[in-house]
Amino acid sequence: MSEILQYVHKDGFFHRLHPFTKILFIIVASVMCVFVTSIPFLILMVVALLVLARISHLHREVIQQLKLVLLMSVVFIIITVLTMPNGTTLGYLIPQGVPFIGGAIAITDGAIGIGLILALRFMVLIFAFQLFLISTQPRDLVHAMEKLHMPIDYILMFILALRFIPTLQIEGQRIHEAQLARGYNPGTGMLGKIRSVAPIVIPLVSNSLLRSNVLGLTIDMRGYRTGIRTHVRERKFCTGDYAMMSGLVAATAGFVVLAIFASGLIF
Amino acid sequence: MIELKDVSYIYPHTVQEALHDLSLVLEPGRCIMVTGPSGAGKTTLCLAACGILFHEYGGKKTGLITINGRDVSAYTGLSDIAKNIGIVFDDPEAQMIFTTVEEEILSALEYRGLAPEEIEKRLASIMDVTYLSALKDRSPHNLSGGQKQRVALAATLALGNEILILDEPTSELDEHATRRIVEILSGLKRQGKTLLIVEHKYAHFRDMVDTLVVMEHGAISAIGAPEDVLKDERIRKIVIPDFNGIRTCASMSVAPHSAGAASPVISVRHLSYSYDDVPALYDLNLEIDAGEFVAIVGENGSGKTTLVKQFNRLLTPTYGDVEIRGKNTRNCTIAELARDVGLVFQNPDHMFFADTVKDEIAFGLKNLGIGDDDAVIDAALDEVGLLHTKTLYPRWLSRGERQRLAIACVIAMQPAIIVLDEPTTGLDGDEARLVMEILKKLQVNGHTVVVITHNRDIAQYCADRMITMEQGRVISDSPVQVA
């Protein structure tokens, strides 16, 4: 079972970066992709992230999420086609030849364009956050967030939410198998998913609540909430950090210059 | 030192006492083992002893609890108590917070106010003591049950406390992993640590236990040196599972096997299976006849569960074939095979979702189109001794009762073959015997029973045949010699 958003133990370029550098990287990538409306520029950002993943030996992990990302992209495009008709009509979702309802739901170039922009922004955000999370040990993340004066309870909530994704995946799979063994056949598709809610979700939630009780007690009994901490093996800024920082500063400066003098290239 | 004096406790929103007038002293350097039926209050005792009940749970408390001479109410909270006591809960997965083994232990060390050099020194020492050095970069949720338990123990040891409380540290572990945990705990005791261990495997801990406590219905029913406590025959049966005589009793009480036995109901031919690229089973061949009682034994990861999941097509062979009552599983759906093969998983809580015990059983019947006939449900519940729980919420039952309910869910579906994965996990001696008696009765009633177990006594005293697996292969398959 592939693990979603879990730290991968490797020694690549991204792993060696200081968490602060990575947080800055996330901020720059997020802000840029939110403001940019140029499809070629967004494609360039996606390609740059994939190149960065390749350099950091994390391309396999990033590519693993491609299926989900493409699926979501298709969903975005369908939603915009359905809800935001705009510009030239390229065709119709229901062919004009169909009696009564033919010609309904126009497919417009404007809607497809907006859908593509949303999909590409989603790709940038997912790839950037994935690079950040799979290359950063939660311990380093806790250190960095503590230094940013975030409350420890919020930090732990964030760390645990990520940490327990694979646990829930495995638990859900076990429950699913246990119900299948009792002759349960919810069927496929959306209807099957709805039918499987009670027999799968109820045990999953009940077991998770019990587990969260133990987890909460463990956090207290190990003193994680005391705030008294000896910092060991702290990450120092290295050459890679300075290179990345310089790259981010250059990219931001370039972005601002383009926004002022050649806004047509990015907006 | 921990002292409990006349402690009684009622959980919030309940009326029954979980602990009743309980007094216990855990002296420095001593090891107390607490055992007893599920629902007897063992875990509640652990929670009381480390102040969790007082500081976190609410409820109604009476009596006195002191930790190192100080009343538990005088501590400011759990973080304050944690400077004195370390506790390892029974679910190791829930105690893994970070993403590598080393990070888990290192993070626990960082909050003790130690100098960086001391932290590194202790980290190396703890990894060494708990045999985790080779696993330091592994992700905790990819470890085996025994390895996870060692990580949870190591993170607790990192706190450096003299008192350790362990709630069923070996319940889901095989022989090898259990021995390793016992070895670690014995070493800790030799170092002078004070241990309170809730356990069912007395035989493994025998050499290190100073005081044996048996709990029933929230109270201590026996306490003292193990040899004295075990003189009482009734108590002895709770502490040490006794499967002796199950074979004979069941055979005498119920009709013999139906005619037509000795035809294979499970036929495995050249079965190989891989999880992605990781091989789990290698060219297995075996046949199980109708009416047989087969025990499959082997260490964790030997392929036992992977093998039985092929019987109802939860897994499909990578190579080779599995036939159930003459039907190749490749040509059947899981739902079709559920009519022939009933599979009870190790953790019954993976299946319960209904509001009542009756509805839980009716779920399987509806799936097979049998109809939720009250008579069928009553018969299944009666078979496992749970008729009185018919209208209760399944998760309110004790662990032993939930295990029996899981069996009832399968019995009601009337499959010819019943497969159980570790059916005695977490049960005391009496409960384990009760489960095995039920299974033996099912065999005598004509069912084929396959049990996966770490417990060789089960194989020896209950099964007709023992299949031993190791690293995905059957290394021995022979009839059990009746003593």
- B2-239 and B246-479, same CATH topology: yes
A200 secondary structure, DSSP code: I
CB of B161 within 8 A of CB of B83? Answer: yes
Selected for mutation to probe chain A from B47, B104, B109, B141 (highest A CB count within 10 Å) is: B141
Task: Say how far apart CA A175 and CA A183 lie, in whole Å.
Answer: 13
* CB contact A231 to B (< 8 Å): yes
* Residue B328 identity (one-letter amino acid): N
**What's the CA gap between B251 and B441, in Å, rounded?**
8
CATH 3.40.190.10 fits B246-479, yes or no: no
Q: What's the rounded mean pLDDT across residues A53-57?
A: 94
Report pLDDT for B262: 57
A210 three-class SS: helix
**Domain range B2-239, CATH class:** alpha beta
- State the pLDDT at residue A257: 92
Look up residue B393 and give its two tokens: 């919420």
**DSSP 8-class letter at B42:** H
For chain A, strand residue ranges (E) read: 89-92, 106-108
Which among B87, B107, B335 has CB closest to A139?
Answer: B107
| Whether the Cβ atoms of residue B342 and residue B415 lie closer than 8 Å to each other | yes
Could you tell me if A103 lies within 8 Å of chain B, comparing CB atoms? no
Q: Give CA B369 to chain center in angstroms.
A: 33
B178 versus A6: which is more confidently predicted?
B178
User: With an 8 Å Cβ cutoff, are A9 and B108 in contact?
Assistant: no
Min CA distance, B211 vs chain A (Å)? 26
Chain A residue whose CA is closest to B99: A7
Give the whole-angstrom CA distance, residue B230 versus residue B315: 45
Q: In what order do the strands lie in the sheet with B278-289?
A: B278-289, B264-275, B319-324, B327-328
Q: Quote the pLDDT of residue B483.
A: 60
Q: Which one of B53, B275, B350 makes the best mutation probe of the A interface by having the most chain A beta carbons within 10 Å?
A: B350
DSSP B156: H
Count helices and strands in chain A by DSSP H and E runs: 11, 2
Residues of B in contact with A157 (CB under 8 A): none
Q: Is residue B242 a contact partner of residue B203, using CB atoms and an 8 Å limit?
A: no
Q: Pairing relation of β-strands B327-328 and B448-453?
A: unpaired
Give the gap in angstroms from C-alpha B116 to the nearest C-alpha of chain A.
6
Query: Strand B219-224 and strand B264-275: pairing?
Result: unpaired
Instruction: Give how far B33 is from chain A: nearest CA, Å.
Output: 21
Q: Give the C-alpha separation, B96 to B89, whole Å.
A: 11
Cβ neighbours, 10 Å, residue A183: 25
* Whether A166 and B78 lie within 8 Å, measured CB to CB: no
What sign results for the dihedral spanned by CA atoms B127, B128, B129, B131?
positive
Query: In a mutagenesis test of the A interface, which of B136, B351, B419 is the best target, namely the one with the most A β-carbons within 10 Å?
Result: B351
Whole-angstrom distance, CA of residue A241 vs CA of residue B240 = 61
The tokens describing A198, both together, are 């009670």
List chain B residues with CB under 8 Å of A167.
93, 141
Is A212 at the interface with chain B, CB within 8 A?
A: yes
Dist CA A45 CA A42 (whole Å)? 5
Question: pLDDT category, A196, cuts 50, 70, 90?
Answer: confident
Q: Say which of A199, A203, A214 has its CB closest to residue B95.
A: A214
- Exposed / middle / buried, residue B320 (Cβ in 10 Å: 0-12, 13-18, 19+): middle
Of A185, A224, A233, the CB nearest to B111: A224
Residues B291 and B464: beta-carbon distance below 8 Å:
no
Residue A19 has pLDDT above 90, yes or no: yes
Question: Min CA distance, B313 vs chain A (Å)?
Answer: 9
Tokens of A261: 């003098």
- Beta carbons of B287 and B311 less than 8 angstroms apart: no
State both tokens at A86. 């705009």
Q: Which of B54, B87, B110, B157 should one mutate to test binding to chain A, selecting the residue with the greatest count of A CBs within 10 A?
A: B110
- Angle of helix B429-444 versus helix B399-412 axis, rounded to 10: 10
User: Are A174 and B350 inside 8 Å of each other by CB?
Assistant: yes
Nearest Cα of chain B lies from the Cα of A33 at a distance, in angstroms, of 30
Q: Which residues in B225-318 belong to E strands, given as ranges? A: 264-275, 278-289, 293-297
Partners of residue B108 in chain A, C-beta under 8 Å: 222
Domain regions of chain B by residue span? 2-239, 246-479
Q: Token pair for residue A148?
A: 């940013």
What does DSSP say about strands A106-108 and B219-224: parallel, antiparallel, or unpaired? unpaired
CB contact under 8 A, A174 and B115: no
Residue type, position B188, single letter? L
* Unique residue bearing structure tokens 């699926």: A71
Q: Chain B contacts of A158, Cβ < 8 Å?
A: none
A10: contact with B, CB 8 A cutoff: no
Positive or negative: CA dihedral B329, B333, B335, B339: negative
| Tokens at A160, concatenated | 């645990």
Residue of B nearest to A173 (CA): B350
Average pLDDT over residues A179-187: 87
Partners of residue B264 on adjacent β-strands: B289
Of B99, B341, B345, the CB nearest to A178: B345
- In Å, how far are B124, B342, B402, B423, B430 from B346, measured between CA atoms? 35, 13, 11, 6, 18
- List residues bridging with B297 in a β-sheet: B453, B468
Please give the angle made by the CA atoms of B45, B49 and B50, to the nearest 5 degrees. 125
Q: Which residues pair with A178 in a beta bridge?
A: none
- Contact state of B96 with A222 under an 8 Å Cβ cutoff: no
Which residues of chain A are within 8 Å of residue B117 when distances are taken between CB atoms? none
Packing angle between helix A19-35 and helix A239-261, nearest 10 degrees?
A: 20
Which has more confidence, B193 or A265? B193
Listed residue (B339, B325, B311, B334) closest to B452, CA to CA: B311
pTM of the model: 0.84
| pLDDT value of position B255 | 40
CA dihedral B276, B281, B282, B288 (to 10 degrees): -140
Separation between Cα atoms, residue B94 and residue B148, nearest integer Å: 10
The b/e string for A195-210 (b: 16+ C-beta within 10 A; e otherwise) is: ebeebbebbbeebbee
Question: Which of A203, A211, A230 comes nearest B350 by C-beta?
Answer: A203
Q: Given an 8 Å threshold on Cβ–Cβ distance, is A181 in contact with B342? A: yes
Closest residue of chain B to A6, computed from CA coordinates = B99
| Tokens 């991204």, residue located | A14
Closest CB from B93, B364, B395 relative to A206? B395
Q: Give the integer Cα–Cα distance in Å for B464 and B359.
A: 34
Helix (H, G, I), strand (E, B), or coil: what is residue B287?
strand
CB pairs under 8 A between A and B: 179
B50, B72, B79: best to mutate for the A interface, most A CBs within 10 A: B79
The answer to whether the beta carbons of residues B209 and B33 sit under 8 Å apart is yes
CB contact under 8 A, B345 and A228: no
Q: Which residue of A3, A221, A229 to mutate against B (max B Cβ within 10 Å)?
A: A221
Q: Which residue of B has its CA nearest to A196?
A: B353
Q: How does residue A1 score in pLDDT terms, banded at 50, 70 and 90?
A: low
Average pLDDT, 10 consecutive residues per value, chain B (483 residues): 95 91 96 93 95 91 95 92 92 89 92 90 93 89 85 92 94 87 94 95 95 96 96 93 74 42 85 91 95 92 93 95 95 93 93 94 90 85 92 90 93 94 88 92 93 88 93 93 69
Contact status, residue B16 vs residue B10, Cβ threshold 8 Å: yes
Contact check, Cβ <8 Å, B89/A214: yes
Which residue of chain A has the CA closest to B107?
A139
Reading the block at residue A29, the tokens are 């990538």
Contact A174 B347 (CB under 8 A): yes
Residue A198 is nearest to which of B345, B353, B413, comparing CB atoms?
Answer: B353
Mean local confidence (pLDDT), A150-171:
88
Q: Are B34 and B45 in contact (CB under 8 A)?
A: yes
Question: Which H helix or E strand runs over A32?
Answer: helix A19-35
For residue B18, what pLDDT is reported? Answer: 94
Q: What is the pLDDT of residues A108-122, one digit of tens each?
A: 999 999 999 999 999
